């Protein structure tokens, strides 16, 4: 049906606004200077929308709300992050739930994507009152969830003939991050040689943390993690576990979920992600990772072996988990311990996932090439490890400098070296 109403613009001029609404197809409106023009447009637009609605076969006359309800019932239980997907689809249901899925156009989806990008979301950080907005990866997650629903509706349910998301360009995502912890050496102002953290007095350590917040980050975090053993009841038992977790992640380049879900033996309790610790062979077997279900192994050595040896000697026999919570059914939640350690160490702009970047960065500075970095961090493609190329280039620069000194500054043949 159509409706014509009077309205006035910001200058107070009289206008006529035509509105056409067809159930399941949507609402369209336009403003005109003359009522006759508004009536003519409304008649034409209503006929077009009715023809469009008539082209939708009765067996495909399903709304987006019906599609979402079926998706939540049949497909949601098979997903890992069910809470997030349900919240995303609920947002789409509020915006387009009453519409027939065949009537939703790519242009409408692009407008809603723009709305997703510019819509302020709740800010839980009371210290920062500025509004927060969704990041590009989050916005693309909303679009991908709807695209998957349309794929099922097209391929398996026969409710829709085409997927409008195919004509919507994906959001450009650049969340690459290469933040890593600084090492135990730092060159103080007006000094010729860098000082090691262990050579500083307690007063100098406090001074360094205040004056050079990005210096000595690695030893400061280690100190904060080890000091949790002195907090007593703050972390109840196993107060060294956060330090053990840190050592394992830094040594093996594991993600947090991979390290916390480690088990001593194959089992059916933990399905994903799962890392099996084989102390006899001194290897970690990654059954599946974030982006790749292909099994792979990692060697256990150095400080990581010492930590795992300590944990194995004091393991619980009622659960296969390396870091179990009290009931033994799930891994221990480390969030509070991690946040406390980061705060005690005074680290700025540091996330726990940056431990992986620290592992990769130090390996690159030691001369590891991209295939080696990929294997160390179990990346599936070169793109993820390319962010550390500039660090390995520094190593190559030193190598080339030594080469030029050898060739140009001596009279001996390069083959002699």
Q: Residue 47: pLDDT above 80? A: no
109: nearest Cα among 170, 49, 60, 155:
170
Q: Is residue 309 part of a domain?
A: yes
Cβ pair 54, 61 in contact under 8 A: no
Q: Mark whether 216 and 244 lie in a shared domain.
A: yes
d(CA 199, CA 371) in angstroms, rounded, equals 37
Q: Is residue 178 part of a domain?
A: no
- 232: confidence class by pLDDT, cuts 50, 70, 90: low
Cβ pair 270, 261 in contact under 8 A: yes
SS3 label, residue 157:
helix
Domain boundary among 167, 201, 226: 167
Q: Is residue 411 part of a domain?
A: no
pLDDT of residue 416: 44
Cβ-defined contacts of 402-406 (< 8 Å, 24+): none
Q: Mark whether 220 and 366 lie in a shared domain.
A: yes
d(CA 408, CA 398) in angstroms, rounded, equals 15
pLDDT of residue 30: 87
Instruction: Tell me the CA distances in angstroms from 302 to 242, 248, 260, 285, 375, one per residue in order.
Output: 18, 10, 20, 17, 18
Cβ contacts of residue 158 below 8 Å, gap of 6+?
59, 60
Q: Mark whether 193 and 51 lie in a shared domain.
A: no
Cβ pair 274, 287 in contact under 8 A: yes
SS3 label, residue 341:
helix
pLDDT digits (tens, 9 = 90+) for 340-365: 999 999 999 899 999 988 988 888 88
Instruction: Tell me the CA distances in angstroms from 54 to 51, 96, 105, 164, 257, one per residue in order.
Output: 5, 19, 16, 19, 51
d(CA 219, CA 201) in angstroms, rounded, equals 14
* Paired tokens of 322: 């390396």
Neighbour-count burial of 129, counting CB atoms closer than 10 A to its CB (0-12 exposed, 13-18 middle, 19+ buried)? exposed
- 174: confidence class by pLDDT, cuts 50, 70, 90: low
State the pairing for strand pair 274-278/283-288. antiparallel
pLDDT of residue 233: 52
* Paired tokens of 384: 């993820």
Predicted TM-score (pTM) of the model is: 0.64
Average pLDDT value for the chain: 83
Q: Mark whether 161 and 206 lie in a shared domain.
A: no
Q: Mark whether 257 and 373 lie in a shared domain.
A: yes
Q: Is residue 403 part of a domain?
A: no
Q: Mark whether 329 and 209 lie in a shared domain.
A: yes
Complete DSSP assignment for 232-297 = GGGS-S-TTHHHHHHHHHHHHT--HHHHHTEESS--SS--SSEEEEETTTTEEEEEE-SS----EE
Q: Mark whether 276 and 297 lie in a shared domain.
A: yes
Q: Mark whether 130 and 226 lie in a shared domain.
A: no
Selection from 4-8, 190-194, 378-382 with the highest mean pLDDT: 190-194
In the sheet that 274-278 helps form, which strands lie side by side, from edge to edge?
Answer: 262-263, 274-278, 283-288, 296-299
* Paired tokens of 305: 């072996």
pLDDT digits (tens, 9 = 90+) for 65-92: 999 999 999 998 888 778 889 999 999 9
pLDDT digits (tens, 9 = 90+) for 265-323: 877 776 666 889 999 999 998 886 666 667 788 899 889 999 999 999 999 988 899 99
pLDDT of residue 58: 45
- The average pLDDT across 210-236 equals 84
DSSP state of 168: S
Q: Mark whether 217 and 89 lie in a shared domain.
A: no
> What is the span of the domain harbouring residue 280?
185-397
Q: Mark whether 311 and 384 lie in a shared domain.
A: yes
Q: Mark whether 73 and 47 lie in a shared domain.
A: no
Domain count, the chain: 3
Q: Mark whether 29 and 104 lie in a shared domain.
A: no
Instruction: Tell me the CA distances in angstroms from 22 to 29, 361, 378, one per residue in order.
Output: 12, 58, 53
d(CA 231, CA 314) in angstroms, rounded, equals 21
Cβ pair 147, 121 in contact under 8 A: no
């Amino acid at each position: 049906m159509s409706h014509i109403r009077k309205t006035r613009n910001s200058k107070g001029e009289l206008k006529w606004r035509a509105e056409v609404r067809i159930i399941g197809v949507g609402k369209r409106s336009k403003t005109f200077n003359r009522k006759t023009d508004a009536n003519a447009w409304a008649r034409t637009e209503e006929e077009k929308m009715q023809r469009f609605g008539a082209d939708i076969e009765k067996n495909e006359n399903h709304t987006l709300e019906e599609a979402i309800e079926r998706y939540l019932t049949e497909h949601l239980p098979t997903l890992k992050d069910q809470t997030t997907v349900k919240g995303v689809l609920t947002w789409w249901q509020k915006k387009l739930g009453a519409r027939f899925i065949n009537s939703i156009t790519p242009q409408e989806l692009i407008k809603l994507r723009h709305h997703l990008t510019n819509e302020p979301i709740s800010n839980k950080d009371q210290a920062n009152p500025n509004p927060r907005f969704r990041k590009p990866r989050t916005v693309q997650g909303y679009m991908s969830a709807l695209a998957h629903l349309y794929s099922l509706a097209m391929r398996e349910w026969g409710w829709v003939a085409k997927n409008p998301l195919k004509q919507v360009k994906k959001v450009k995502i650049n969340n690459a991050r290469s933040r890593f912890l600084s090492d135990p050496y730092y060159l103080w102002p007006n000094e010729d040689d860098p000082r090691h953290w262990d050579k500083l007095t307690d007063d100098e350590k406090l001074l360094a943390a205040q004056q050079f917040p990005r210096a000595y980050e690695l030893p400061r975090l280690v100190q904060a993690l080890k000091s949790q053993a002195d907090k007593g009841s703050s972390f109840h038992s196993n107060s060294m576990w956060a330090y053990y977790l840190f050592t394992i992640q830094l040594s093996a380049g594991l993600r947090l979920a991979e390290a916390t879900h480690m088990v001593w033996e194959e089992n059916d309790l933990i399905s994903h992600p799962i890392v099996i610790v084989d102390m006899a062979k001194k290897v970690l077997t990654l059954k599946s990772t974030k982006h790749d279900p292909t099994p792979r192994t990692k060697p256990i050595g150095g400080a990581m072996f010492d930590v795992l040896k300590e944990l194995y000697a004091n393991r619980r026999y009622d659960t296969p988990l390396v870091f179990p919570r009290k009931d033994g059914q799930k891994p221990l939640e480390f969030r509070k311990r991690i946040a406390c350690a980061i705060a005690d160490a005074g680290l700025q702009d540091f996330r726990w996932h940056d431990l992986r970047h620290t592992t990769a960065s130090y390996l690159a500075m030691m001369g590891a090439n991209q295939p080696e970095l990929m294997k160390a961090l179990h990346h599936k493609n070169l793109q993820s490890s390319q962010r550390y190329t500039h660090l390995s280039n520094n190593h190559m620069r030193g190598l080339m400098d030594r080469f030029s000194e050898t060739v140009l500054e001596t009279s001996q043949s390069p083959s002699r070296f």
